[in-house]
Amino acid sequence: GSAQERGFVGFRVGIKYPMQDYRATAIYGRGMNVGIHADGRLFIGTLEASAPKIDIKHEIRLQFYAHPSAKGYKVLLRAVSVNGGRSVEIDREIPAEWLIGGLALACSSAELEPTPVEFPMIKDFSFYPPNQHAGGTMKFWFRDWTISGSKIDVHDERAYGPILFTLYTVSPGSLKLSAQFPPLGNVSDIATLQIKTGSQWKSIAIAKLDPDAWNATFRVPSWKSEQDCTYRVIYRMPDENGKSTEYAYSGTIRRDPRDRQNIVVGLLTCLWDFGFPHDDFTTHLKHHQPDILLWTGDQVYEPVGGFGALEDRTPDLIEAAMLDFQRKWFIFGWAVRDLTRDIPSVCMTDDHDMYHGNIWGCGGRPTNPALGNGAAAQGTVSYSKKEYAIQDSGGYKMAPQWVNMVQRLQTSHLPDAYDPTPVLQGINVYYCELLWGGISFAILEDRKWKSAPKGLLPGADIVNGFALSRGWDSAAQSDDQDAELLGQRQLDFLEAWAADWSGGAWMKFAVSQTIFACIHTEPQGVYTDDKDPEETIPPEGTYLEGDHLVADYDSNAWPQHERNAAILKFRKAFAPHLSGDQHLGTTSHYGVEDFRDGVYGICTPAISNIWPRRWYPPYAASNALPGTRNTGDYYDAFGNRLSILAVANPARHPGPGLDGLRFRSTGYTVLTCDRVARKTTITQWPRWINPSVPGAKPYDGWPITIDQIENGLWGAQWKLDPIETPDFHDAVVQVQEGSSGEVVYTLRISGSSFTPLVRKPGVYNVIAFDPDGYYRRSWTGIRARKLE
């Protein structure tokens, strides 16, 4: 029927969910509905034609009682008209099982779901409750909800709010911490940050709640990071009786581990809510005791939490669209809050965080307004042609106010932007440096400035980032010299960052959303990723024949000249590139002019996804690792040099948990950085494997240990005379071209002697210095000699 002929309001009792976690039950649980139908009839689980009615246009007191009986429970529902005093009621005998579970208020414009609920197998989108797209006009206020009885089990420790979760970073001398709140309405907009000194709490900062993002971002500029510090966020608001009540959320700001030999980095991406609340992932990640977490993007997907997504930039809908996103963000926080309350976390936005399947930011411009608003079809694995056209036009489809709200939610706790000047439409930027544990991270935005290929390459017939024109050669025809990737501002930042090793930095990483390569194959005759969720997932150890390399313009393999420019900047700092987004866990070595002359690229597998990608090249490569068919030196579909070291392809892995998570090879990456050896060990773990169990193994091909110097000097054939700094240990050494003075590379050496390698013959200058002091020595006019 129409929206006015269906729907109901009342209670939901006996709420259950197969995963048996209170958080999952709260989001996806289903149970017995009791209340008042849209036409005024009372119901308990099932709507009866003869049920008594009440006028729902006026205030009603609704009461539900349950008492044990011979058959289970006798339940009674009574509705009393507050104004007129009229009372109607119905009763029913039900099994006790129907009452066991959660209790909630309910209001819906959907048809009543029959009781008992039949739960389908948790697969793909089936875990979302049905009828979440009913639309309609059933809207009611609730007040004075009370629950009592001997069977009620109360868990105050499970309360979520009003302070939901926190994110923080510490970078030299400055703490930034964001505390997330739900929308609170017309109450206090001030929160307080306190630290514990001895047995006392001391207030050190206050912050206002942002009216769009509903978070409070604290800044403490003179932070001392020599020891762990217990903190709490304090907020006061009236309780249900109007009494001012104090709420607190606590955690630990960790000491800077800059004096430790090994620093552990957790690299993370793509957290769809399939598998929520992800306890296996969070427990297994915590076992590695990471010093910092890098959430590289897609913390939110459009379907998260059910009900679809409000993808619309119409001014009248911006506020509703912001609230829609925040609910999904709160689900992310509910899963990871016990990690982020204590562990410093970088958080970055990617395409799905912007309600895009793919995004080419084009410097912040809006998508083509002539194409209107588009929305992905939720509850499916397809996007509409209109949605593709909007995304392919380049820019942001959501309003700038909404975009800035999302960025504030996810990134306001990061160190200050290197250059905070907004881009087009007033969209803010967040690219910056973070120094923690002696490791310097360049936090990059690889979507914001990236050009859209469709307009630049009309002959390719780009749809959703794939060239549909069969005669198009992405390797030979696509490198348009006007196309941007990181943009000049971020390239300038990288140039300065690569040379700056102050603050005791001894290793560097560049971190962005996606890899600078296209590690992607599809079955013969398939040229896009539209059908990836439906493609064959083979048993473990099986190699799929007949695939071919495809060119995905959403990857940062394109534009090639900009990809190479970025890698050359990373190379100046010996900085491996860390990323996610692709859903396929890989470790590779980028090449620019030669194989492996760039830096290592580490793409972490998705934590939870529905779009499994794969790498089954049809030919064996040179320098393949023993016993493998998809490693070695390749040219990707854009013609970029790429050396593959390990790949975690989808496979029908045995083990606990959901098949949909295991078969898609989900997981996370742990990097252990050794200060003394200047080496990094990369390990990609399946999320379902308990690493604390003796004999637990990561994905095949890992761990991989790389040397810092290999990020740029792998295979270098020329060397300079050794330099000695006997009166200073661990100096920063910079190599410059002798004639131009251009910096070739900068790094902090270990010890007091170093033999610089270079990739080309010529004359060079070398400087050894202390960026935090006065030590400085220089050597000029050193001619490179061929390695013997």
- 3-state secondary structure (DSSP) of residue 53: strand
Q: Are strands 585-591 and 641-648 parallel, antiparallel or unpaired?
A: antiparallel
DSSP 3-state assignment of 143?
coil
Is 757 a residue whose pLDDT tops 70? yes
The CATH number of the domain covering residues in 718-786: 2.60.40
Digit-coded pLDDT (tens) for 65-121:
999 999 999 999 999 999 877 899 999 999 999 999 999 999 999 888 888 888 887
Query: Given a cut of 50, is residue 380 above it in pLDDT?
Result: no
Query: CA separation (Å) from 29 to 164, 243, 379?
Result: 21, 32, 17
The mean pLDDT of 125-135, rounded to a whole number, is 80
Q: Which two tokens stand for residue 568?
A: 């050359």
Which residues belong to CATH 2.60.40.10 in the chain?
A: 159-253
Are the C-beta atoms of residues 619 and 506 closer than 8 Å to each other?
A: no
- Residue pair 684/667 in contact (Cβ under 8 Å)? The answer is yes
Q: Give me the pLDDT at residue 61, please.
A: 97
User: Which carries the bigger pLDDT value, residue 35 or residue 373?
Assistant: 35
Mean pLDDT of the chain: 95
Structure confidence at residue 378 (pLDDT): 41
pLDDT in tens, 50-59: 999 999 988 9
- Looking at residue 375, what is its pLDDT? 52
Average pLDDT over every residue of 393-412: 98
Phi then psi dihedrals of residue 32, to 5 deg: -90, 125
| CB proximity list for 238: less than 8 A, separation 6 or greater | 187, 244, 245
pLDDT tens sequence across 303-327 = 999 988 999 999 999 999 999 999 9
DSSP line for 518-582: ---EEETT--SSTTGGGS--PPTT----SEEE--BTTSTT-SHHHHHHHHHHHHHTT--EEEE-S
User: What are the pLDDT digits (tens) for 424-475?
Assistant: 999 999 999 999 999 999 999 999 999 999 999 999 999 999 999 999 999 9
Which phi and psi (to 5°) does residue 502 adopt?
A: -70, 170
pLDDT band of 383, cuts 50, 70, 90: low
For residues 730 and 220, what is the distance between their CA atoms, to the nearest angstrom? 31
- Is it the case that residue 381 has pLDDT exceeding 80? no
Say whether 514 sits in a helix, a strand or coil.
Answer: strand
Instruction: Please give the average per-residue pLDDT across 479-489, as a whole number.
Output: 98
Distance CA 344, CA 177 (A): 9
Give pLDDT tens digits for 224-269: 999 999 999 999 999 888 899 999 999 999 999 999 999 999 999 9
User: Count of H helices and E strands in the chain?
Assistant: 11, 41
Q: Which amino acid is at 113?
A: E
Q: Check pLDDT > 70 for residue 715.
A: yes
Quick: pLDDT tens for 733-744: 999 999 999 999
Q: What is the pLDDT of residue 379?
A: 42
Q: Hey, which bits of 675-769 come out as E strands?
A: 679-686, 704-707, 718-719, 723-724, 732-737, 743-748, 753-754, 757-758, 763-769
Give the separation between CA 416 and CA 405, rounded to whole angstroms. Answer: 17
Q: How far is it, in rounded angstroms, from Cα 61 to Cα 57?
A: 13
The CB density around residue 213, as the number of other CB atoms within 10 Å, is 23
Name the CATH topology of 159-253.
Answer: Immunoglobulin-like (2.60.40)
- What is the per-residue pLDDT across 600-638, written as a single tens digit (0 to 9) for each? 999 999 999 989 999 999 999 999 999 999 999 999 999
Q: Find the helix or strand (DSSP H, E) in which 585 lies.
A: strand 585-591
pLDDT average, residue stretch 374-391:
64
DSSP helix/strand/coil, 496 = helix
Per residue in 149-160, pLDDT tens?
999 999 999 999
Architecture category of domain 262-713 in CATH: 4-Layer Sandwich (3.60)
Strand segments, DSSP code E, in 163-243 are 165-171, 174-180, 190-197, 200-208, 215-220, 229-238
The span from the CA of 160 to the CA of 672, in Å, is 34
Q: In what order do the strands lie in the sheet with 190-197?
A: 200-208, 190-197, 229-238, 244-253
- In degrees and rounded to multiples of 5, residue 325 shows phi and psi of -65, -40
Average pLDDT over residues 554-558: 98
**Is the pLDDT assigned to residue 373 strictly greater than 80?**
no
Task: Enter the tokens of residue 369.
Answer: 């307004």
Q: Which of 39, 64, 35 is nearest to 49 (CA)?
A: 39
- Compare 468 and 137 and report the one with higher pLDDT: 468
CB 277 within 8 A of CB 20: no
Q: How confident is the model at residue 4 (pLDDT cuts 50, 70, 90)?
A: low
Write the secondary structure of 153-175 as one string of H (helix), E (strand) and C (coil): CCCHHHCCCCCCEEEEEEECCEE
Q: What is the pLDDT of residue 367?
A: 96
CATH 3.60.21.70 domain span(s) along the chain: 262-713
pLDDT over 60 (residue 2): no
